[in-house]
Amino acid sequence: MIRAVLDANVLVSALIRPQGPPGRIVLRLLKDRAFELVVSPSTLDELSRSLGYPRVRRYLRSTQQEIDTWIESLAIVADVVEGGLRPHVVTEDPDDDIYIGAAIEGMAHYIVSGGRHLRDVGEIEGIPIVTPREFIRILG
């Protein structure tokens, strides 16, 4: 089974525009179990912070309680790794290193990101960093 780390911008985009590639990825996860999601406490915290930004909140029609429940639901269906691995790889945005650490620790096959800084890394320890559109093609 494919194992993947989805960065916060992919998950935020899935909530804002469910019909786009990020939304289709989450649908494939929840409906079809097309892949295993790998998360860490740090990636879940980053998701929660990202969903609280005013520029994001204006696009969401969900209450804070609904958002919290959605994040908790993701954690339930995901493989939650400890998150202790902190590589220093993404020099342009060191906060993105949490996704690389989770992917290595969780033996993920892919990191899916809409962010340029993380995607510019290309691949780390044999784990390609792909766009949501590429990941949709990979899932078939």
The CATH number covering residue 102 comes to: 3.40.50.1010
CA angle centred on 67, ends 4 and 22, rounded to 5°: 35
Cα distance between residue 18 and residue 132, in whole Å: 13
Task: Supply the range of the domain harboring residue 63.
Answer: 3-139
Residue 7 pLDDT exceeds 90 = yes
Residue 93 pLDDT exceeds 90 = no
**Alpha carbon separation from 89 to 12, 32, 53, 121 (Å, rounded):** 23, 33, 25, 8
The confidence score (pLDDT) of residue 94 equals 83
- CA-closest candidate to residue 124, choices 21, 5, 1, 2: 5
pLDDT (tens digit per residue) in 63-79: 999 999 999 999 999 99
Reported confidence tier of residue 89, pLDDT bands at 50, 70, 90? confident
- CA-closest candidate to residue 135, choices 15, 14, 17: 14
pTM: 0.95
The confidence score (pLDDT) of residue 60 equals 92
State the number of CA atoms in the 13 A half-sphere of 4 facing the CB: 29
Task: Look over the chain and give the mean of its residue pLDDT values, rounded to a whole number.
Answer: 94
Between 31 and 91, the more confident residue is 31
Residue 61 pLDDT exceeds 90 = no
Between 112 and 88, the more confident residue is 112
Between 85 and 120, the more confident residue is 120
Total domains, the chain: 1
